Structure 1
Amino acid sequence: MHGDVEAATREELRTVQTDRLKRMVQQAAAVPYYAQTFEEAGVSPDTIESIDDIEKLPFTTKEDLRDNYPDKLFAVPREDIVRLHASSGTTGKPKIVAYTREDLAVWREAMARSLVAAGVSASDTVQNAYGYGLFTGGLGFHDGAEELGATVIPIGGGNTDRQIDFLEDLGSTVLSCTPSYCLYLAEAIEARGVDPHDLPLSTVIIGAEPFTDPMREEIEEALDVTAIDVYGLSEIVGPGVSIECAEAQDGLHIWEDFFYPEVIDPDTGEVLSEGEEGELVLTTLAKDAMPVLRYRTGDITSLNYDECDCGRTHVRMDNVTGRVDDLLIVRGVNVYPSQIEQAMLEFAEVAPHYRIDLRREGALDTMELTVEHHADVADVAGLAERIRKKLNSKLGVKLSELHVVEPNTIERTTVGKVQRVFDHRA
């Protein structure tokens, strides 16, 4: 472990969370947006006496962040801010996030803890293939690895030929990137004729987009590595909110002294019990420049408070199974893309590359699915029929069209997040 707090008792964590929540609410009260929402909710800093009182606070949404663009949520003077990051802004104005020097220290600590949990040590060489710049992934991993004392190769995203060169020539033992790019890189390594067993690479840390266990298994087999899931979001801090431990790989530890988690019913806002699946809500407990209270992440998961086999006591979130805003409703059937992926990848003959196209014909919605098969499949038509039956029986999904295509047919992403769903209905 990277610190004693990772094995703190629940009572010790509650004491830290209570003290820090009180300070965060006091800090947020100086922000006009929060002052107004506090008044509307009938709460004030004096209302918060323990961490249990967090449910009295109003939610914050991504729309609130965009409505207060660019800096109306900053809680400190501009001269105290040492870094700004931003989301991509692909669906509107970007979400701007700010950090003081102390905020960056918290982020480095959270990322260093995360890397240690993933099995990384100061003796490792980390090839960081997350994008640098406004996206928090690159610098988040970079600073955390340096905090740990590991060697960092700040290669960034893309440039696949050089990625392979460095894996071979510089002896990288850890790779950090998105799961879709990791699969693309594995294909490029195979195409070059490099045997992954000859590479010193032992761990890949993948995040920034949802993926399923079959996709993880594909990565582990293709690169002969252990694939660790990491979770984070810029609005809270960046990567490092939670991560799987290498010992158990059974849920992602959330660093509860920095980030307080809840799971709610996405329709009613009701806080759900341990183990119930719903929308993840996070509150920053150590963010001065831009405290964020009860942020609705949109990610679907559940929480497990049992002590992990690794000895860490911090709560574990399940792998994200989808997003509230990714829910597809086709002919009255509710389904998440991850559920479709999980079902089709139960077939060993199917590769983890797929595309969903939604269209509207008259008054009816249609779903078209394109998947790739592995090279050694003899009966493609039979495989297609089995996929159709599986999706229909397991999820109630009836496809208008299903295309099972040759390997390397579906367009790959060479950098950034992959797009799986194309909605043509608008």
Structure 2
Amino acid sequence: MIWNEEYETLPREALEALQLKRLQHLVERVYATVPFYKKKFDEAGVKPEDIKSLSDLRKLPFTTKQDLRDNYPFGLFAVPKEQVVRIHASSGTTGKPTVVGYTKRDIKTWAELMARTFQAAGVGKGDVLQNAYGYGLFTGGLGAHYGAELIGASVIPISGGNSKKQIMIMQDFGTTAISCTPSYALNLYEVAQEMGVDLKKLPVKVGVFGAEPWTNEMRKEIEEKWGIDAIDIYGLSEVIGPGVAFECLEAKNGMHINEDHFIVEIIDPETGEPLPYGEKGEIVFTTITKEAIPLIRYRTRDITRLIKEPCKCGRTFVRMEKVMGRSDDMLIIRGVNVFPSQIESILMETKGILPHYLIVVDRENNLDTMEVLVEVSEEFFSDEIKKLQALEKSIEKNIKEIIGITAKVRLVEPKTIERSQGKAKRVIDKRSL
């Protein structure tokens, strides 16, 4: 199902003409209203009138998360504060949070993008969406809420946590769709098991999951345990929140980027040079319709690649693959680049393993070490020690052969690894402590 056929199926030529027009308007506006961008443009020796084609985008400077922090709280706003009707902030793990603002039109745009997202997942009028993304300063909850209301779904604004109540509400309110992080979906499955509730017997038909990288193996796990379709979505608070890109139910093969609102690039994370379609690199966004806090060439640090081939759903937007990791979350272990998602793929293909793991990186005698703690099923854990040791060795061998590093694998009993109500914590790097 397509929410906005006019834009979501625009021919490429018309889409690029629209992008250029909006980009030219954007650079004129930020040059005139945001001192930070005027300074950056001047330093780069570029003026708004230099942007004559989409390829001229590469003349413009990048924006980073640090730039948002340096201009905390409102230094990057392009409109007077009285036009800002909403302020969100991302949960900064270090230092100050990054602050984003929305005008009335920005809120309308955001709802439109999330309406597209839910419609693509098969959610529509008459559905009951249980929205278990966090409300508050985090953009997930309210972003999903407005989009679901726009398409005419009934929204249960339950937010994250309170897992037993989540299951009870699902049963009593006839929830047909759920939105939350994928790791929380697995957490809810465990809680349902404890409560003696079979999720497959509930009317839930689809889950719209995002806010953290997850693998196709984890998708299979969720789909099997819940008996639903699991759909991936992508967003960043800085760019707009959820609604930047979304999978469609028909293909589940890459997320359609809302290119009428965002220009996307893939760059080499080391050199900053743009890469061609199909090559893996860091994804970068320019927000061409945002009013309150437009961003030019925002470096996400997320690693993925773009898919240009047409999708069977009929949308013409370019797609991005699932995020495989982050250039700044990437672990370098004895010179080898390792993403937690690579470890997850190996674990999820192993029989008897539960989808809960923790990677602990340390340094001993000046050498990096990596230990992977992973939960095994109850039956497996009660098995003889020889079998557990054989499984540990087998996983260690797979990690060595596939990724090229030596890791110590330790199997632990179910519920040993701390559960998260939001984004799952997958890595503890003690080297920098």
By how many angstroms is 1:348 displaced?
Answer: 2.4
Structure 2 residue 144 is matched with structure 1 residue 138: no
Kept in 1, the 8 Å contact 2:200–2:225? The answer is: no
| Counterpart residue number, 2:30 | 28
Residue 382 of structure 1 corresponds to 390
- Give the aligned CA root-mean-square deviation in angstroms: 1.0
Contact 1:175 1:205 in 2 (8 A): yes
1:27–1:288 CA contact under 8 A, matched in 2: no
Q: Is the 8 A contact 1:344 1:390 kept in 2?
A: no
> Which residue, out of 31, 49, 54, partners 1:51?
54
Aligned-pair CA distance for 1:197: 2.2
Confirm or deny: 8 A CA contact 1:374 1:406 kept in the other structure. Answer: yes
Output aligned runs, 1:15-414, within 5 Å. Answer: 15-29=17-31, 30-377=33-380, 378=383, 379-399=387-407, 401-413=408-420
Aligned residue for 2:299, secondary structure, equals strand
Using the TM superposition, give the Cα deviation of residue 90 of structure 1 relative to its aligned residue in structure 2, in angstroms: 1.5
State the distance in 2 between where 1:119 and 1:368 align.
Answer: 40
1:416 aligns with 2:419: no
In structure 2, C-alpha distance between the alignment counterparts of 1:84 and 1:50, rounded to whole Å:
33
Q: Which amino acid counterpart does residue 74 of structure 2 have in structure 1? A: D
Q: Contact (CA 8 Å) 1:351, 1:373: kept in 2 or not?
A: yes
* Letter of the 2:401 counterpart: S
Question: Structure 2: how far apart are the matches of 1:313 and 1:348?
Answer: 39
- Which residue identity does 1:10 align to in structure 2? R
Q: Shift of the alpha carbon at 1:344?
A: 2.2
| 1:345-385 Cα shifts (integer Å, max 9, x gaps) | 22122211100111111211111110112233342111111
Q: Which letter maps to 2:3?
A: H
Q: What amino acid sits opposite 1:2 in the alignment?
A: W
How far 1:71 moved relative to its partner? 0.5
Whether the aligned pair in 2 keeps the contact of 1:277 and 1:301 (CA below 8 Å) is yes
TM-score, normalisation: structure 2:
0.96
Q: How many residues align?
A: 424
Secondary structure of the corresponding residue to residue 325 of structure 1 = coil
What letter matches 2:419 in structure 1? R
Whole-angstrom CA distance in 2 between matches of 1:243 and 1:77: 32
Matched residues, percent identical?
A: 54
Kindly provide the amino acid, as one letter, of the partner of residue 21 in structure 1.
L
Which stretch shows the higher mean deviation, 374-383 or 320-329?
374-383
Cα displacement string for residues 145-166 of structure 1 (whole angstroms, at most 9, x for unaligned residues): 1111110000001011110111
Checking the alignment, whether the CA contact within 8 Å between 2:118 and 2:148 is kept in structure 1 is yes
2:96 partner letter: K
Q: In the aligned structure 2, how far is the partner of 1:319 from the partner of 1:8?
A: 24
Q: Residue 397 of structure 1: CA displacement?
A: 1.4
Q: Which amino acid aligns with 1:15?
A: A
CA distance in 2, matches of 1:268, 1:410: 38
Q: Report the AA paired with residue 282 of structure 1.
A: F
Match of 2:12 in 1: 10
Aligned partners of 2:395, 2:273: CA distance in 1, in Å? 37
SS at match of 2:234: strand
* CA distance in 2: counterparts of 1:302 and 1:330, whole angstroms: 24
Q: How far 1:420 moved relative to its partner?
A: 0.7
Q: Is the 1:372–1:409 Cα contact (8 Å) retained in structure 2?
A: yes
Aligned-partner SS, 2:292: coil
Is contact 1:230-1:243 (8 Å) kept? yes
Separation in structure 2 between the aligned mates of residue 289 and residue 361 of structure 1, nearest angstrom? 49
Cα displacement (A) at 1:174? 0.5
Kindly provide the CA deviation profile for residues 205-241 of structure 1, in whole angstroms up to 9, marking residues without a partner as x: 1110111111111111111110000100000000000
> Which consecutive unaligned segments of at least 5 residues does structure 1 have?
none
Rounded to whole Å, the distance in 2 between the matches of 1:59 and 1:126 is 37
Q: Which amino acid in the other structure matches residue 27 of structure 1?
A: R
1:67 CA displacement: 0.6
> Structure 2 regions of 5+ residues with no counterpart?
none
SS of 1:17's equivalent? helix
